[in-house]
């Protein structure tokens, strides 16, 4: 007697729902991981940018009797460093696409001699800036000074001061006078001793 053919068995609705539920759970677990990985990648790019900018400051100072750029009026530190960087892309932060420059310089370092900083490894030179600073929409046409702290403030945390923006995994990228750069906590670093060149670190 001939045996009847076995028809292929399809998935039941419950089995399909179980598979969809498993995929949804896996996606909810993996997507945040991928997002954090991308954010860490952008953070690494930003650290590299800031380090290159710090090194450009050092090269400028080597050619200018150890003096940092003097940026006034329409002349920005971006203009001063361009002959050493030859790359305007490093001025931009991937976490901040609204401005062509995503960083600001310590106002108190403006025109100062490199050797007069109390501790070059602890004094901030450059960092992420908040969206409202700098104000110029097109710095290459009408450049602002691009300061990290307000011009004229004696210390960070002064009245009206705009602290660094924590846009990289809850922190900001800081570059130091000695040329190194790293991710840091804004609350811990937005203190006078980290910005004032002559103030000792307690």
The pLDDT value given to residue 140: 40
- Identify the CA nearest to 115 among candidates 198, 200, 180, 202: 198
What are the tokens at 75? 């002349």
CB count within 10 Å of CB 142 equals 10
Q: What is the rounded distance in angstroms from the CA atom of residue 105 to the CA atom of residue 148?
A: 5
Residue 107: CB atoms within 10 A of its CB come to: 19
Share of the chain above pLDDT 70, in %: 75
List, in sequence order, the alpha helices (H) in the chain. Answer: 13-63, 77-85, 186-189, 192-195
For residue range 85-133, list pLDDT tens digits in order. 998 889 888 887 766 778 888 888 888 998 899 889 999 999 887 655 4
- Mean predicted confidence (pLDDT) in 25-37: 81
Distance of CA 65 to the CA centre of its chain: 29
Instruction: Indicate whether 23 pLDDT > 60.
Output: yes
């Amino acid at each position: 007697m001939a045996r009847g053919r076995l028809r292929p068995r399809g998935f039941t609705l419950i089995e399909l729902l179980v598979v969809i539920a498993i995929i949804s759970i896996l996606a909810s677990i993996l997507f945040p991981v991928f997002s954090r990985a991308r954010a860490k990648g952008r953070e690494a790019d930003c650290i590299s940018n800031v380090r290159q900018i710090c090194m450009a400051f050092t090269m400028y100072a080597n050619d200018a009797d150890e003096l940092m750029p003097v940026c006034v009026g329409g002349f920005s530190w971006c203009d001063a460093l361009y002959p050493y960087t030859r790359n305007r892309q490093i001025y931009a932060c991937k976490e901040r696409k609204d401005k062509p420059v995503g960083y600001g310089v310590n106002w108190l370092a403006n025109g100062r001699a490199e050797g007069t900083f109390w501790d070059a490894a602890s004094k901030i030179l450059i960092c992420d800036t908040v969206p409202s600073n700098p104000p110029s929409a097109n710095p290459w046409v009408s450049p602002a000074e691009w300061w990290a702290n307000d011009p004229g403030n004696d210390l960070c945390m002064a009245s009206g001061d705009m602290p660094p923006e924590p846009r990289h995994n809850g922190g900001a990228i800081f570059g130091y006078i000695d040329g190194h750069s790293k991710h840091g906590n804004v609350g811990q670093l937005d203190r006078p001793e980290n910005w004032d060149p002559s103030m000792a670190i307690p």
